[in-house]
Amino acid sequence: MSDGRRPMNLYERALERFGRSSAGLWFVTRVAPRVDPTLLRLSGGRVSSVYPIPVMLLTTIGAKSGQPRQLPLLYATDGDSLIVIASNYGRPGHPAWYRNLTANPTVEVLAGKRSGTYTAVEVTDPAERATAWDRALDVYAGYGDYEIRAAHRTIPVIRLVRA
């Protein structure tokens, strides 16, 4: 492909096009967070509502509450590490899970064979961030849309390193 992304099949292209639409945004903010935790638990982290796009069930510890918090997140891989993007769909502030990670960087991931305990590290080196961002865009080009919407803030890129 001319934009350097991995080739996608027809289903993946349609899924991504839907995800970048207003109906898709509604689905990923209202429906998927309610359905995916159950799908991911039942399938051992292999199947979500947007299969085959990689989605994990991330368990963090609440920054204020100290209680476990679970949420489904898209992820990209980089060797043994996982890359997650704290885009918050391009909204003005960082998502709550990002604040949880900065307070308590040890997390649990349910993502098939990649499941396990990880440590979260924000990617701040510009070259490393650019590489990780490109990997995330390869999984979901909509992150580029979120970056435009969130022009007033730098979207955090997080590397999850297996503990």
- Under the banding of pLDDT at 50, 70 and 90, the label for residue 32 is very high
Q: What is the mean pLDDT of residues 127-150?
A: 94
pLDDT at residue number 16: 85
What is the Cα Rg of the chain in Å?
A: 15
pLDDT in tens, 89-109: 999 999 999 999 999 999 999
pLDDT at residue number 74: 96
Question: Which of 16, 1, 13, 4 has its CA nearest to residue 131?
Answer: 4
- Under the banding of pLDDT at 50, 70 and 90, the label for residue 20 is confident
Please tell me whether the overall predicted TM-score, pTM, comes out greater than 0.75 for this model.
yes
Q: Does the pLDDT at position 1 exceed 60?
A: no
Q: What percent of the chain is modeled with pLDDT above 70? A: 98
Q: Does the pLDDT at position 22 exceed 60?
A: yes
pLDDT at residue number 4: 67
Beta strand 55-61 with 106-110 is antiparallel
From CA 119, how far away is CA 68, in angstroms rounded?
15
